[in-house]
Structure 1
Amino acid sequence: MIQRTLSSLVLLPTLAFAADYFPKPDDQGGWRSLSDAAKIRQTTGLDVAKLDEAFRYVEQTSQHGGLLVVRHGYLVYEKYFGRGNREALPELASCGKAFTSVAVGMMMQDRPKLFPQGLDQKIYTPAFLPPSAFPIDDPRKADITLGQVLSMSAGYRGTNPVYIKGVKQEWPNPTIDNGPWSTTDDFALKQTLWCAPGDCYSYTTSSSHIAAITVRHVMGIEMEDYMRKRLTGPLGFGTWGYAMYRPKLKGGIDENGRMFHTPGGGSIAVRSTDMLRFGYLMLKEGRWNKQQILPASFVQECGRSTKYNPHYTHSFNFNVNDDGHLAGVPKDAYWKGGSGGYAIYVVPSLDLVIYKMGGTEGQYDPALTRLPVKYSYDGSRADWKATPVGDATGKTLQMVIGAIAAK
């Protein structure tokens, strides 16, 4: 547990370091970086020895992975283990939900006339969803808003735990809603409601996929193609894609085992330094160089509790800390984790972006993406066994923040 108060941290002037800095693509030089421990401490206030402690902890949390830290626009820490590598393209599980949310924000910016009510816009109409969504199988779905879909308060039946008016509850037979099958149109659009829209929270992958269906329907192209044009291209991503090849999936795939549509609920595959670019875009409130990729107001709402989900600290597919439940962490910190030990963190008040890379052996299987593997692996983690480490997502963030030197 981090006991120091935030007032004891070195809050170096952000504008002196990263006012208008944006990293180039990796094939053009990439992130600016520092390697000397003394220079890192002088410039960013980070103690490399304590970051090494955080890395050793991260090594205990997943079979493969790494730890990357950017402060004041400097990549000051980048270490990997197992199959973790800058060139790795593992399937990032639910981290993909954060990209879906950003795609929705861009869509609203690109098609403002379709959203006169903003995030209050009700989406169960032919303007936002395909014919397969109709007729509506539950009249309550007509009241679902875009904000509720993004914050998982639309009432879809998901996984435990569930929250009603801030009270944690569990039901005996939850829906198994956390795998590739829940990111197919048929599954998501037929998902049943367990409460009225807005009355509860349940973590449901189908909800994020419905957001992706909306993007596809409104923009007229697959969400992945839309993001290549509007997000990953301007940010300078290298090779990336989705784990689209699921031959064992029943429904939602073609004769080659490829999913018909971009899975909005997860399965994105992104290089580690590009995950930092994504986090840095959020840190910069949606701006990249002189281009406003998505509305600043949308980014701000991603980082705090939202009226669309008053039940739990989950905004638009990010966990938030504005209630201070994660000790020693600023209240403006927010993050998105994914099964396998992944997490991307943004801490605006500390000008800080962190990527906790993780992953199981299966998540690194190139057959999922059919993207090239550009590095070798020595097999060093083949016999790795999981050990209890508690809340690895939260503790990693606490440890990295604890590496900011005291005054």
Structure 2
Amino acid sequence: IACGIMLEEFRDKIPDGLDTKVFTPAYLPQALPLDDPRKADITLGQLLCMTAGYWGEGQSPTGYTRGRPLPQPLKPVKGQDIRNLDESSLRVPLWCDPGAGYSYSSPSPHIASIVLRNVTGMELKDFIHQRLAEPQGWGPWDYCLHRGDFVMPHANGAGSTALHATDVTRFGYCLARDGKWRDRQLVPLEYLRKCQTWSPYNPHTPFSLQWEHNADGHVAGAPRDAFWKSGAGGFCLYVVPSLDLVIYKLGGKTGQYDPTLTRIPQPEPDTSRDDWQPFPGSAFQESSGAASLNRILETVCAAVRVE
């Protein structure tokens, strides 16, 4: 969303928008010289749709390509290093040519945030604070920049935000109302619409500009204009404009709420459920994280009555 605002405000600096090939001196001097000539063809839209070709993360990464019903298993590779976040993200290898497949890879959105810093001359947190947090009246918030004795010089564009749940829902409600907050258009409507449907930058999966969408109806019990963003530990923000509905599902472990990560005071957490585990799945009962996120969306949508 921050990149969508940037493209509207700074179109004179990045006139080709999402089609911009960003591995150039103007947009990503930090990436030069290129360690793979294919990276010269990566566009901003591909970075935001995770189709730039960057290797998926974790110990069991997968890649999706259009026409193949099952994901392709990939071998794990070295990913982001918080002590050298920009460089480590830029040097993650490609598993496919840009645009040829989708793999959930945190380096991609972080590289997009480097482009934002270079175009706007602002840190990501400051840009978001001015364009979204202040107009919407958020309380104290930050990125998790404090990692023990190390303070990250830049926010991770892939995540690690710390917001009040009420402020997350304010943000979601702004999106549900076509990017408007009171009488201000905070998020460009044209960009927001692109988050809700299939993207030319990602024909492989229903994931557009960092949002999963339901344009194909794969979540059968939810309207097709629903879109949502999930995160590590089971967090998820759902937006369903046709139902005037925003849902925020909290998740994660106690350590993800550690106030030393942000230096923002917060109440002592309840640790009584720290050892809880989901029930094992079976042939008769789903239990995967993706299934549970989809089921929450379906059950809440089913409960809504629109007069």
TM exceeds 0.5? yes
Q: CA deviation at 1:175?
A: 3.0
Structure 1 residue 215 and structure 2 residue 116: aligned? yes
Could you report, residue by residue, the CA deviation over 1:104-134 in whole angstroms, capped at 9, with x for unpaired residues?
11111111112222211111112211x3210
Secondary structure in structure 2 of the residue aligned to 1:112: coil
Identity %: 45
What's 1:68 paired with? none
Q: CA deviation at 1:184?
A: 0.9
Q: How many Å separate the matches in 2 of 1:172 and 1:141?
A: 19
Q: How many Å separate the matches in 1 of 2:304 and 2:6?
A: 37
Q: 1:351 to 1:142 in 2, by over 3 A?
A: same
Match of residue 404, structure 1, among 272, 281, 304? 304
Q: How many Å separate the matches in 1 of 2:107 and 2:226?
A: 26
Q: How many Å separate the matches in 2 of 1:172 and 1:290?
A: 47
Q: How many Å separate the matches in 2 of 1:305 and 1:183?
A: 34
Secondary structure in structure 2 of the residue aligned to 1:132: helix
Q: 1:127 to 1:331 in 2, by over 3 A?
A: same
Give me the TM-score of the superposition, normalised by structure 2: 0.90
What's 1:123 paired with? 22
The amino acid that maps onto 2:8 is Q
- Contact 2:243–2:306 (CA<8 Å) still a contact in 1? no
Secondary structure in structure 2 of the residue aligned to 1:319: strand
- Count of residues in correspondence between the two structures: 295
- Contact 2:175–2:187 (CA<8 Å) still a contact in 1? no
Could you report, residue by residue, the CA deviation over 1:151-175 in whole angstroms, capped at 9, with x for unpaired residues?
0111111143211124233234133
Q: CA deviation at 1:378?
A: 4.8
Q: 1:342 to 1:113 in 2, by over 3 A?
A: same
What's 1:200 paired with? 101
Q: 1:287 to 1:182 in 2, by over 3 A?
A: farther
Q: How many Å separate the matches in 2 of 1:385 and 1:261?
A: 34
Q: Point out which structure has higher relative CO (alpha carbons under 8 A, 6+ apart).
A: 1
Secondary structure in structure 2 of the residue aligned to 1:280: helix
Match of residue 300, structure 1, among 171, 177, 193? 193
Q: How many Å separate the matches in 2 of 1:293 and 1:282?
A: 9
Q: How many Å separate the matches in 2 of 1:266 and 1:182?
A: 16
RMSD: 1.9
The amino acid that maps onto 1:385 is Q
What's 2:181 paired with? 288
Q: How many Å separate the matches in 2 of 1:222 and 1:188?
A: 17
What's 1:144 paired with? 42
Structure 1 residue 340 and structure 2 residue 240: aligned? no
Could you report, residue by residue, the CA deviation over 1:307-340 in whole angstroms, capped at 9, with x for unpaired residues?
1000111101111111111111111111011111
Unaligned stretches of 5+ residues in structure 1: 1-101, 248-255
Unaligned stretches of 5+ residues in structure 2: 281-286
Q: Which is higher, the Rg of structure 1 or of structure 2?
A: 1
Q: CA deviation at 1:180?
A: 6.2
Structure 1 residue 155 and structure 2 residue 53: aligned? yes
The amino acid that maps onto 1:365 is D
Q: CA deviation at 1:287?
A: 1.6
Structure 1 residue 235 and structure 2 residue 136: aligned? yes
